[in-house]
Amino acid sequence: MRPLRHRALSALITVVTGAMSALAVGAPARADDPDVTAPAGRYQLDFTKLWDGQSATLTALEVSDDVTAQADIRQYIDWGDGGFSYLDGDETSERHQFFNPGTYTVTVRLTDRAGNSSSGVFAATSTVTVVRMPGTFKIAKKEVYIGDPAVVTLAGIPSDVTKVRVWWGDGTDTTVSRTTTQVKHYYKSETHWYVTVLLTNAAGEAYGREIGSIYTPYDGTPPQISLTRPKKPTYVSSWRTVNGKVSDRGRGTTEVGTAFIQQRGSSWYYYTGKKWIKAKTLDQALRKARTITVRPTAKNTWQVKIKGLRKGTLYAFYAAVDKDGNQSEAKVKKQKLTR
């Protein structure tokens, strides 16, 4: 019986030493061992100070798990403003736009295939602060006639702004530098236009601020014109300079047209702008009289000088035209000159 006992003891020793050897080199976990370790992740936000409408990008710096591959780790992002998204598969970054001013805490929840989850940590702050886009922007005039410039003034723009864009509401925009203080635009049709200013810095373009509306009507109103009666109307010297006034409810008067004829006894004369020439008939005098045009002054007055005027009956014709081509009523002033 001794040989059998010896063989049994030897077998037992072999099993024990084999097990010890396996422990020494590190035996792999058995397939039925549970996965109880949650994944870990470290993240970073590129911008944490934003204007309304700008975006921040979340980047995964490190993501790991003892069993689940990174591509299979579910990364749920809560942006703190009611929005959420995921990093799927091998994605390492996600971008999000913040529309409303406020303070938002961004969180990431990691979950592996076994259902273990943990909160991601951030290399820096996880809080995003969103404020209203800065700047002072004004519409110079709320009503601008078509053909005249609409003007927006700009002030209080921060030094880190790289671009200023004015959206005019008619499908066009104007891009200027931050040091620009005034922007002009010409509209081509009649309606109300809503104007928006948008600023751009390193974080991108802000949502923008609607600063009001501009109404652009057509100018269909003709100007008004008058001739100033001199203090001594019968004196020839009083009419060597003819004065008058204009007014316009629209874009303004651009030109005054005048013409002069005179009856001396039974003869008719017309004025060329430089001298008087005798006409054969009244009709010829009317046709030959030169139209003398002058521009009104900034105070809406006009003036025409007449050379070589003599005694007789003077006929002064005058009318005005505005920037849109609307013409006033043509008028005539008859004055007998006796002195």
Tens of pLDDT, residues 266-309 = 999 999 999 999 999 999 999 999 999 999 999 999 999 999 99
The last residue of one of the domains, among 131, 154, 185, is 131
Is 86 or 88 the better-scoring residue by pLDDT? 86
For residue 324, give the amino acid letter. D
pLDDT score at 260 = 98
The last residue of one of the domains, among 97, 131, 165, is 131
**CATH code for the domain in which residue 114 is found:** 2.60.40.10
- Phi (first) and psi of residue 236, to 5 degrees: -60, -40
Give how many domains the chain has, as a whole number: 3
Tens of pLDDT, residues 219-237 = 999 999 999 999 999 999 9
**CATH code for the domain in which residue 307 is found:** 2.60.40.3760
Q: Give the residue numbers spanning the domain of 237.
A: 224-337
107 domain residue, yes or no: yes
1 domain residue, yes or no: no
Question: 269 and 243 in one domain?
Answer: yes
Q: Which residues contact 276 (CB under 8 A, 6 or more apart)?
A: 262, 269, 270, 308, 309, 310
**Three-state SS at 40:** strand
Question: 332 and 249 in one domain?
Answer: yes
Euclidean distance between CA atoms 22 and 177, whole angstroms: 73
**Three-state SS at 36:** coil
Is the pLDDT at 115 greater than 80? The verdict is yes
Longest Cα–Cα distance of the chain, Å, equals 173
Is the pLDDT at 93 greater than 50? The verdict is yes
The last residue of one of the domains, among 175, 195, 215, is 215
Question: 81 and 47 in one domain?
Answer: yes
